[in-house]
Chains A and B, each alone.
Chain A
Amino acid sequence: MRIRIIKPGILSTIQDLGRKHYLSQAVPVSGAMDTLSARVANIAIGNPDHAAVIEFTYADAEFMTETDMLMAYAGDGATLQAGDIIIPPEKPVFIPAYTSIQLINNPAGSRTYLSVAGGWDIPEVLGSRSTFITAEIGGFNGRSLHAGDTLASTETFTPITATIFDRLKGETITYPAWSVARRMFLPADTKHIRIVPAHEFSWFHGLALVNFLSLPYTLSMNSNRMGYHLDGEPVTRIIKNELLSTAVTPGTIQVTGNGSLVLLMADCQTTGGYPRIAHVAAIDLPLCGQLKPGDTIYFEDISHQDAEMLYIEREQELQQLREAIQHKYL
């Protein structure tokens, strides 16, 4: 299965669930900004969760299928259309060869993930297929996708993928009635982000902490895959110690010298020297991956025990989802 990129859009990269074993050499995790959507796109066609997907940023991108395809997409950056035909998200879709697919703007979010049967055939670099552009490693030759690039899938299909493909293939765009219902995994208010107080939480003024947990913060234009600068009430410090650089991870919220917040995201550095006020609960980090400049969020604190429990419950729900699709087809 193969596609050719006609228009790459603002930033389209190959991602998976990240590069976890080279943090001590300062290689960032990278991977999908919204891992939930990336996983849903893979699960919907029977791929392993960590198969390589394309992460599109916003819309205005276009590609052409060069063979018959089994694909799925998920995420809030765009809706896929073949001319006038809307392709529904979060379900397996058969698309015949030589269909032109456009990404049409979806104001709800910023990133959309496209999976293909067998995963995109991209060599692993340091244990992951994710693109990290700064060091030109992973993904499609270490860079974002350009017009004219062709991307092929691997030939390794799981039994579920092979069965879904057999049932759907034909002459026209075809998909089943069911879909994954990603919304089921999302809270009612996706702009309400749960956090766990971080190690330097008590370095800040009580009033500043009250502000942090009650006032809105807005993504500035200075936001990308490395991190988001947040505009809002500055957070003032009571303890003015210097922090020696130490490990940080995607989800860490640092406070810079002037009291403004930086939420670290997928491509963040592995260490940092700014005091850390909070850490976004892993369950809500995919919501952050869909934010765009101008979006306003609120923070709510939970305990680290609750954050961990929510993480484990989410993994169990995704496992149940995989099993449900397996039962449907095998």
Chain B
Amino acid sequence: MQPLTDIKLGFSIYYLSENAVTLEFGHEISEDLLQQISSFNQLINHHPFTGFETAVPAYGTLSIFYDPIQVIRATDLPGIDCFDKVSAYLYQLNNQPAQIHNVPYNLITIPTCYGGIYGEDLEEVAALHNLSADKVIDLHSSTIYKVYMIGFVPGFAYLGGMSAQLATPRKPSPRKVIPKGSVGIAGEQTGIYPLQTPGGWQLIGRTPLTLFDATRTQPALLKAGDQVVFKPIDHHQFEQYRD
């Protein structure tokens, strides 16, 4: 781990609601922004202010949620209202020399059974790109993806890094039921459905892993900043994993 000292990140702060402000770091999808947002997320969680509840990272923003009653009563925070008090604290936190480390993100392997009943659209996706099904699997499973944010449904990871060769439009009409664990492609994105939901993604495979489980201490398997690789498995291995 490399220590990052005295970081000063560039962000502006805007009002989101009575109990939240948003820090805006930028307007594009980039690993640099991901790193900045992850660093500040770590910083605020290690140095919370009175009333801090949680921080929600997204592509270009980090939103800070708090209890306004605790914030307004906090005498250690300068300012006339919660927005002022929280903003002042966040700017000051950013300007303080702080020992913070590059967050140790995990590399998570997602065993995936491609094609057949596990990924009904694999052949269609392959045909659309004039590729063999094996080539699609190869392209999809030979990339290291980055988790940019978790959103949409509990535990759903927005992954960046898919080969442009695999970019495929959504299904013309969404399926009513997509089994949980389905690995899909929509436009230039790939992702894994943590829950059984309706959806319009092209399904190329399925993982036996549980992406979201409310009984775990960390319910979502993935978090922003994690790296993800897909490892092809056959249907025997899929059933073994499930047992």
- Which residues of A come within 8 Å of B, CB atoms? 20-28, 125-126, 134-135, 137, 196, 199, 241, 244-247, 249, 251-252, 269-271, 279, 281-282, 304-305, 307-309, 311-312, 315
Contacts and interface: CB of A to CB of B under 8 A. Distances in A.
Contact of A247 (B22, B28, B81, B220): B22
A49 to B, nearest CB: 12
A13 to B, nearest CB: 16
B16 A24 contact: no
A156 B144 CA distance: 51
Interface stretch (B116-124, B153-161, B235-243): B153-161
What is the size category of the interface that chain B forms with chain A?
Answer: 35 or more
A121 B150 CA distance: 31
B53 A135 contact: no
Contacts of B55: 24
B70 to A, nearest CB: 11
A308 B153 CA distance: 29
Contact of B220 (A25, A304, A309): A25
B174 interface: no
20 contacts: A20-B54, A21-B53, A23-B65, A24-B224, A25-B154, A25-B219, A26-B155, A26-B220, A126-B214, A134-B153, A135-B214, A199-B14, A199-B16, A245-B59, A246-B60, A246-B63, A271-B151, A279-B15, A282-B19, A308-B82
B195 interface: yes
The majority secondary structure among interface residues of chain A is mixed
B13 to A, nearest CB: 11
A323 B164 CA distance: 63
B83 interface: yes
A200 to B, nearest CB: 10
The majority secondary structure among interface residues of chain B is mixed
A249 B58 CA distance: 14
B218 to A, nearest CB: 8
A312 B19 CA distance: 11
Interface of B: 14-20, 22, 27-29, 53-61, 63, 65, 68-69, 72, 81-83, 149-156, 158, 195, 197, 212, 214, 218-220, 223-224
Contacts of A282: 17-19
Contacts of A196: 15
Nearest 9 CB-CB pairs, A to B? A271-B151, A247-B63, A25-B220, A244-B59, A246-B58, A282-B18, A246-B61, A247-B56, A137-B214
Max count, chain B CB within 10 A of own CB: residue among A21, A251, A312: A312
B56 A23 contact: yes
Given A26-B150, A304-B15, A308-B68, 16 more contacts: A24-B55, A25-B220, A26-B154, A126-B214, A134-B197, A199-B16, A244-B61, A245-B149, A245-B158, A251-B17, A252-B17, A269-B152, A271-B149, A308-B81, A308-B83, A315-B69
B154 A247 contact: no
Contacts of A251: 17
B151 A26 contact: yes
Nearest to B55: A24
Contact of B153 (A126, A269, A279): A269
B31 to A, nearest CB: 15
